[in-house]
Structure 1
Amino acid sequence: MNPSPGRGSTPDPGRHHRALVEHLVSLKKRSGRSYARLASNSRTTGSADGTGSVSATTLKRVVDLTQGVPVERAVTAYVRACGVGGEENALGLWRAARVESRGRLAGLRAPHVDSIRTRADLAAALAAAYERAGAPALRVVRARAADAGIPGDVLLPLSTVWRTARRRGLPATWKQCAAFLRGCGVSARHMGRWEEAWERAVAGRTAVRGRSLSRPARGALVRRGRTPSPVINWTPELEQSLMTLAKALAICAEDVKPKTDNMARTAVMVGKVVCGLQLERSGMAAVNALSALLRSLEATTRLNGLGPSSGQLPPVQGRRTLAPGAG
């Protein structure tokens, strides 16, 4: 007979919690064992993976609706002590009951993994993965994060689990992210889609399975012949501001260029007359720095299809250009 919720229990048991208890009670009936016998069995069935033994009192609380949703360890010990199977179904019902009782999953508004585009999307999706896993203990997530012989405490610090689960931050690397997902029960066959989401949100590039697309996003500034890293998506306002800046840089480059040769000659002459070789070197260093700036300005204007040779610059009234040799 299923236990009934106690008077004044808060909150009332949810639909999934009731389904979990019904399933566990049915397993006990099939086993034909008393709680004392189940407690005795838990000493041996739980020792292999660290589940541990539980008392008869704890086992009774597992199926008591007034006690709230039990912890995962107690549910696992209960099912294994019954010895009639049903563990996978029990854990699925337990996760649903935890999600129902915590009531946080809907508030995250997490996008589907294929719809993740930003770091905020990724943070919400990872927190949702933790909630769908039943919000297990942080140490349990860390232990399940182990992979290829590397222990979970090496791959995934508890502080990272805490920040990620509470949407306070993201894992530092994809390996940490994958470890967190394993700890939340995400299967290996879904990891490829999660890695693509990581690439989109964190690495800042559009990715497909196993490779990155070299095609830049519309409106991105990319040097020809080079793969963008990262691709920058400009809003119309930013792009208009950039075009205005590029026009100003083109005018500046046109004005500065005739002066660099004259400045180089002047620096050499002053260095020789006044202080010798040291001042000459300092003057040349300043001229070289100015020349490097000029090359950068010219590259920027060419990149945007602007400059005196492009024919796109409007005439500028009142602009004064010094002739070579004017000093």
Structure 2
Amino acid sequence: MNPTPGRGSSPAPGRHHLRLVGHLVSLKERSGCSYARLASNSRTTGGTDGAGSVSATTLKRVVDPIQGVPVERAVISFVRACGVGGEEKALRLWRAARAESRGRLAGLRAPHVDGIRTRADLAAALAAVYEGAGAPALRVLQARAADAGIAGHVLLPLSTVWRTAGRRGLPATWKQCAAFLRACGVPARRMGRWEEAWERAVAGRTAVRGRSLSRPAPGAPVRRGRTPSPVINWTPELEQSLMTLAKALAICAEDVKPVTDNMARTAVMVGKTVGSLQLEKSGMVAVNALSALLHSLEATARLNGLGPSSSVNGHFPPVVQGRRVLAPGAG
């Protein structure tokens, strides 16, 4: 019985994987070492980045395209055991081969860093950076986030790495985002553009190195000591509308206040008549809630210079609405 085509067979190696294998084989030929000798060399050429001693069998699998893309640690150990350089190129080819093998990078449709505008754009771009870095193990990524003597697990929690790499969420702060990018190999000279993208997507404003580019609208007053809101454009028209609303709420509070007193007495009478303590309690809760609302309205009105303390003979000052002047109670 002939096997089903493709079943049980390994996928064909990609173009970048073949280029990686070719580069590693050329390094071995230049070194003139056997696999046994390379394995012996790997015991003394390990570093602090996780690369270390590997067996001759593992080294053979590294350059066997049928075995799939090798792990990063094995590639580094292979190159260092050869002792003829070529590590930077090998890692560049390995990252391309890993991204090609995983096949997720194109599906992210991530924008360029300068084209990031929303949180979704930023999430896709960070996930693309992770895929482009070869999708290293999360703990490896966490260890690489270390900077200025601060451990990686302090700067970048493992849960944050998992969410960001899988496009499940964003880092909580720019400091965490910078640590993630650094761990993925983004150079320091590009961090400024990423910080601008972070500000656009998360802070909701266009910024350059932490400085807001938002400008007040033409004709809008500039208030000293007040930072303009990135969302609300404070204009004289808006201020006048808010004052009109405050005056209307103050008038409403004065008109409705006697009603709440009647409601309280009615709730007590109904509760006693029906004989239900629960009904009386429910009525009082509703009355108390309405009373609290009215007290809040009164406080807001007084903060704006309105209310009984500012009324003249029980009447409030005229309410300006557009170009018309409306007296209280006018239609």
Alignment TM class, shorter chain as reference: 0.7 to 0.9
TM-score computed with the length of structure 2 as normaliser: 0.72
Partners of 2:217 and 2:113 lie apart in 1 by 21
Q: Which residue type is aligned with residue 129 of structure 2? A: A
Partner of 1:56: 56
1:159 paired to 2:170: no
Aligned in 2, Cα 1:296/1:165: closer, same or farther, shift over 3 Å? farther
Q: CA deviation at 1:213?
A: 2.3
CA contact (8 A) 1:214 1:227 kept: no
Aligned in 2, Cα 1:254/1:129: closer, same or farther, shift over 3 Å? same
Aligned in 2, Cα 1:287/1:157: closer, same or farther, shift over 3 Å? closer
Aligned in 2, Cα 1:216/1:137: closer, same or farther, shift over 3 Å? farther
Partner of 1:83: 83
Partners of 2:62 and 2:293 lie apart in 1 by 78
- The superposition leaves residues 67-109 of structure 1 with CA deviations (integer Å, 9 ceiling, x where unpaired) of 1111100000000000000000000000110111111011111
2:84 counterpart SS class: coil
C-alpha RMSD of matched pairs (Å): 3.9
Aligned in 2, Cα 1:126/1:287: closer, same or farther, shift over 3 Å? closer
Q: CA deviation at 1:203?
A: 1.7
Partner of 1:294: 301
CA contact (8 A) 1:113 1:193 kept: yes
Partners of 1:108 and 1:258 lie apart in 2 by 54
- The superposition leaves residues 137-164 of structure 1 with CA deviations (integer Å, 9 ceiling, x where unpaired) of 1111111100001011111111110110
Partner of 1:35: 35
Partners of 2:80 and 2:159 lie apart in 1 by 32
Partner of 1:187: 187
Q: Which residue type is aligned with residue 28 of structure 2? A: K
Partners of 1:69 and 1:24 lie apart in 2 by 12
Partner of 1:212: 212
Q: Which moved more, 1:44-53 or 1:125-134?
A: 44-53
Aligned in 2, Cα 1:187/1:291: closer, same or farther, shift over 3 Å? same
Partners of 1:124 and 1:150 lie apart in 2 by 27
Partner of 1:14: 14
Partner of 1:203: 203
CA contact (8 A) 1:28 1:82 kept: yes
Q: CA deviation at 1:295?
A: 6.2
- The superposition leaves residues 20-40 of structure 1 with CA deviations (integer Å, 9 ceiling, x where unpaired) of 000000000000000001011
Partners of 1:72 and 1:249 lie apart in 2 by 65
Q: CA deviation at 1:8?
A: 6.5
Q: CA deviation at 1:129?
A: 0.5
Partners of 2:50 and 2:80 lie apart in 1 by 13
Partner of 2:322: 311
Aligned in 2, Cα 1:148/1:255: closer, same or farther, shift over 3 Å? closer
1:309 counterpart SS class: strand
Aligned in 2, Cα 1:126/1:295: closer, same or farther, shift over 3 Å? farther
Partners of 2:38 and 2:32 lie apart in 1 by 10
Aligned in 2, Cα 1:222/1:196: closer, same or farther, shift over 3 Å? farther
Q: CA deviation at 1:198?
A: 1.0
- The superposition leaves residues 304-323 of structure 1 with CA deviations (integer Å, 9 ceiling, x where unpaired) of xxx9435257999xx9459x
CA contact (8 A) 1:114 1:193 kept: yes
Q: Which residue type is aligned with residue 172 of structure 1? A: A
| Alignment size in residue pairs | 277
Partners of 1:321 and 1:65 lie apart in 2 by 86
Partner of 2:244: 250
Aligned in 2, Cα 1:297/1:206: closer, same or farther, shift over 3 Å? farther
- The superposition leaves residues 284-314 of structure 1 with CA deviations (integer Å, 9 ceiling, x where unpaired) of x998743333368899xxxxxxx94352579
CA contact (8 A) 2:244 2:321 kept: no
Q: CA deviation at 1:224?
A: 5.0
Tell me the percent identity.
72
Q: Which residue type is aligned with residue 250 of structure 1? A: T
Gaps of 5+ in 2: 1-5, 262-291, 307-317
Q: Which residue type is aligned with residue 244 of structure 2? A: A
Please list, as runs of the form range in 1=range in 2, the aligned pairs for 1:90-239 lying within 5 A after superposition. Answer: 90-215=90-215, 225=224, 226-231=226-231
Aligned in 2, Cα 1:298/1:171: closer, same or farther, shift over 3 Å? farther
1:148 counterpart SS class: coil
Partners of 2:217 and 2:163 lie apart in 1 by 31
Partner of 2:46: 46
- The superposition leaves residues 203-259 of structure 1 with CA deviations (integer Å, 9 ceiling, x where unpaired) of 2221013422242589xx9995532344259xxxxxxxxx9xx97983673474497
Q: Which residue type is aligned with residue 164 of structure 1? A: T
Partner of 1:73: 73
Q: Which residue type is aligned with residue 165 of structure 1? A: A
Partners of 2:166 and 2:110 lie apart in 1 by 13
1:147 counterpart SS class: coil
Gaps of 5+ in 1: 1-5, 234-242, 268-284, 300-306, 323-327
